[in-house]
A = this chain, B = another copy of it.
Amino acid sequence: MDTKVIDFIHTHRDQFVEQMKDWLRIPSVSALSEHAGDVRAAADWAVGELARLGFDNAGLRETPGNPIVYAEWLKAEGAPTVLYYGHYDVQPVDPIDLWTTPPFEPTVRDGEIFARGAADDKGQVFMHFKALEAWLSQTGRLPVNFKIILEGEEEVGSKNLDAFIAANKDLLAADVVVISDTGMFDRGVPSICYGLRGLAYCQIDITGSHTDLHSGQFGGALANPAFTLAQMLSQLKDRSGRIKIPGFYDDVEPLSDAERAEFKKLPFNEKRFARELGAPKLTGETGFTTLERLSARPTLEVNGLLSGFTGEGAKTVLPAKAMAKVSMRLVPNQDPDRIADLFAEHVKKIAPKTVHVEVTKMHGGKPWKASLDNPFVRAAAGAIEAGFGREPLFTREGGSIPVVASFQDILGLPSVLFGIGLPDDRIHAPNEKLDLGNFHNGVVAAAHLYENIAGARE
């Protein structure tokens, strides 16, 4: 590693923070139409920054929604090509009165910068900007070829991203995707996420009669859809937490000893975890640890229930309908479409003849996992160690990042999740912040990451 690169980073720490504030000040809330101009201004700001760093073809690529920022630097002949993905839009800020300082007046307190978008995702994107600037300003080059896309609709479902990727396969051709839109395991515990769960989301609608009926007049002689729904839901998992849908586990890849060993390394206090969530007692699938249950095992959760009278007080209604939203988190190699089919089939099978049952498949996402031996994962691990002074732990996350599946499916590209957020960064909530220690270490780590990738080949 060229020491000038790292020296530049160390000597410009305060300047980086001041520059980051400029971007954070732009209220690029994609969910609210009154911020449409701000969203575009945040995109323009990124284009200007990338052009200033020396990127080529920096500009906005229009979509039916918000534009995608694109820029490239392709002068590292023979080196791998990185496709960097991030997003410049942010979540709404309500409830605004819970913010200690205004969400778009970035403020540093106790080594953390408070602003909407500080962690999710402008601050993390900006970390890479600074690593790229260090390379380009100090050596006149990057160790890898580099393409960057920044989306403006991540917080509203990325509805135009897949079509953009599919329509620009050549433009986006690369060897690996780098994303910094996640967190590390805990403060002082840098980590690399190598797996994400998928999702199959369904809705069950049960109808027992044309209209709501009086529970006195009609109760006792026909099925109660709410009770029937409860009976059916309770049959979906057994007492050991195992999902009872036939075929559900067929494609589940067992946890390897190496993976279970990685889980064991993670510092985790069950009691503190339960206490912080307010859960009286943890529970889950028998035979697995809490961390394994949280990310490496499939789940079935009821996300919503609605039937009959739900206001204050008592209304003696025999509901005509009952509804449940049920979603399943999936692990490799479960397929969301197949799981949704198995779910629908099973629900229909256990439905009594006393009600009509409808199952709607809402949406799904594939699970994702990189091999722990993947050279890009190893490159990232080395970079983290260089930036944070500590070998990263390997984690899996319980949620989904649909874009990771998109890059895998559409471009055939592996992703490296290089996130430096902390569990208490309050993304999507009031007082979002980013730890500046993590940010500065992250700039160093990112500078190393690109050099390490230059030496890696999958």
A352-373 to B contact mask, C-beta < 8 Å, 1/0: 1111100000110000000000
Q: Is A285 an interface residue (CB 8 A)?
A: yes
Taken together as a complex, chains A and B put the C-alpha atoms of A304 and B233 apart, in Å, by 16
Taken together, the copies of this chain in the complex come to 2
Q: Is A390 an interface residue (CB 8 A)?
A: no
Which residues from B are CB-within-8-Å of A421?
Answer: none
Q: Is A214 an interface residue (CB 8 A)?
A: yes
Say whether A303 contacts B284, CB under 8 Å. no
Select A302's contact among B237, B301, B307, beta carbons within 8 Å. Answer: B307
Say whether B283 contacts A217, CB under 8 Å. no
Which residues from B are CB-within-8-Å of A285?
Answer: 220
In A230-274, the 8 Å CB interface with B consists of 230-231, 233-237, 273-274
Say whether B314 contacts A306, CB under 8 Å. no
Which residues from B are CB-within-8-Å of A226?
Answer: 233, 302-305, 324
A287-308 to B contact mask, C-beta < 8 Å, 1/0: 0001001100111011111111
Say whether B280 contacts A303, CB under 8 Å. no
Residue of B nearest to A401 (CB): B216
9-residue interface stretch from A17-25, A84-92, A392-400: A392-400
- Chain A binding site: helix, strand, loop or mixed by DSSP? mixed
Q: Is A35 an interface residue (CB 8 A)?
A: no
Select A303's contact among B210, B277, B293, B318, beta carbons within 8 Å. Answer: B318
Task: Give the distance to chain B from A271, nearest Cβ to Cβ, in Å.
Answer: 13
Say whether B323 contacts A310, CB under 8 Å. yes
Task: Give the distance to chain B from A425, nearest Cβ to Cβ, in Å.
Answer: 13
Known A-B contacts A224-B301, A233-B227, A309-B325; the reply to A278 vs B216 at CB < 8 A is no
Q: Is A315 an interface residue (CB 8 A)?
A: yes
Known A-B contacts A209-B278, A304-B309, A327-B316; the reply to A230 vs B223 at CB < 8 A is no
Q: Is A114 an interface residue (CB 8 A)?
A: no
Residues of A within 8 A of B (CB): 197, 199, 201, 203, 207-211, 213-224, 226-227, 229-231, 233-237, 273-274, 277-285, 290, 293-294, 297-299, 301-310, 313-320, 322-325, 327, 329, 352-356, 362-363, 397-400
Q: A314-B363, A316-B327 are in contact. List 20 more A-B contacts (CB 8 A).
A: A199-B216, A201-B314, A201-B316, A209-B277, A211-B278, A214-B398, A216-B397, A217-B294, A217-B397, A222-B284, A223-B283, A227-B233, A227-B237, A230-B305, A231-B234, A281-B354, A303-B308, A305-B310, A309-B325, A316-B399
